[in-house]
Chains A and B, each alone.
Chain A
Amino acid sequence: EIQLQESGPGLVKPSQSLSLTCSVTGYTITSGYDWSWIRKFPGNKMEWMGYISYSGSTNYNPSLKSRISITRDTSKNQFFLQLNSVTTEDTATYYCARDGGRFDYWGQGVMVTVSS
């Protein structure tokens, strides 16, 4: 069974970096698919943030392009999100998901609050 699980701090100070990990079991992230980060803001708006592909290439939402980085550790079957210079507007629940265009497997989500 394919499972994804996010981990990382639930509270980040403004202007600092947000760093999250997605651990994948049941599927090797180098075997195929893209591996995405998606966030859901208070009030329900959903935003696709970007992906890292099975080959290691990346694609980011232009709205975040200057602040986002998605990397991976293939030895641990994990991929990572780093979002720099966060503000209170980055407060959201962050999900990782397997991306074949549609998102067929999701992590449980991690709520991140940006506050001093």
Chain B
Amino acid sequence: DIRMTQSPASLSASLGETVNIECLASEDIYSDLAWYQQKPGKSPQLLIYNANSLQNGVPSRFSGSGSGTQYSLKINSLQSEDVATYFCQQYNNYPYTFGAGTKLELK
């Protein structure tokens, strides 16, 4: 199985700040990577797919980058509604696997 190492596990940031979350795959996943946002009591919402494509309806302050084994999610100008847990997921190989999640809180 491809192991997805996500960091940091938790993050505290201020409104308006820029936040970066990283995901490291145990092997090349050829940009077959998605990012999700999950708020408490809600189902995950797809933010980014193919490493850098913004899902329809997702604010443009979210962006993704990376290639090979290293990927990142960037949130510009942090808003209060961005408080959530973020997950990465690879879909290059079965079984699909997820990162452990990053819990984002406001400072």
Interface flag for A42 (CB, 8 Å): no
Q: B34 contacts which chain A residues (CB < 8 A)?
A: 101-103
B45, chain A: closest CB distance, angstroms: 8
**Contact at B98–A47, with CB atoms within 8 Å?**
yes
Q: How far is the CA of A101 from the CA of B53 in the complex (A)?
A: 14
Q: CB distance B97 to A48 under 8 Å?
A: yes
The answer for the CA separation of A44 and B45 in the assembled complex, in Å, is 15
Contact of B100 among A44, A59, A63, A109 (CB under 8 A): A44
**Pairwise interchain contact A107-B43, C-beta atoms closer than 8 A:** yes
Indicate whether A46 sits within 8 Å of B95 (C-beta atoms), given known contacts A95-B43, A102-B34, A106-B44: no
List residues of chain B with CB within 8 A of the CB of A95. Answer: 43-44
A48 touches B96 (CB 8 A): yes
Q: Is A62 in contact with B95, judged by CB distance below 8 angstroms? A: yes
List A contacts of B82 (CB < 8 A): none
Q: Is A61 an interface residue (CB 8 A)?
A: yes
- Number of A interface residues at 8 Å Cβ cutoff, please give it: 18
Select from chain B the residue with minimum beta-carbon distance to A61. B95
Contact yes or no, B91 A63, CB < 8 A = no
Would you call B63 an interface residue if the criterion is a C-beta within 8 Å of the partner chain's C-beta atoms?
Answer: no
A108 touches B43 (CB 8 A): yes
Name B23-68 residues within 8 Å CB distance of A.
Answer: 32, 34, 36, 42-46, 49-50, 55
CA distance A63 to B94 in the complex (A): 11
Map CB proximity to B onto A16-45 as digits: 1 under 8 Å, 0 otherwise: 000000000000000000000000000011
Q: Is A104 engaged at the interface, CB distance under 8 Å to the other chain?
A: yes
Cβ–Cβ contact A45 & B94, under 8 A: no
Q: Are B98 and A103 in contact, CB atoms less than 8 angstroms apart? A: no
6 A-B interface contacts by CB (under 8 A)? A61-B95, A101-B49, A101-B91, A102-B34, A104-B46, A109-B43
Interface residues in chain B, defined as those with a beta carbon under 8 Å from any beta carbon in chain A: 32, 34, 36, 42-46, 49-50, 55, 85, 87, 89, 91, 94-98, 100-101
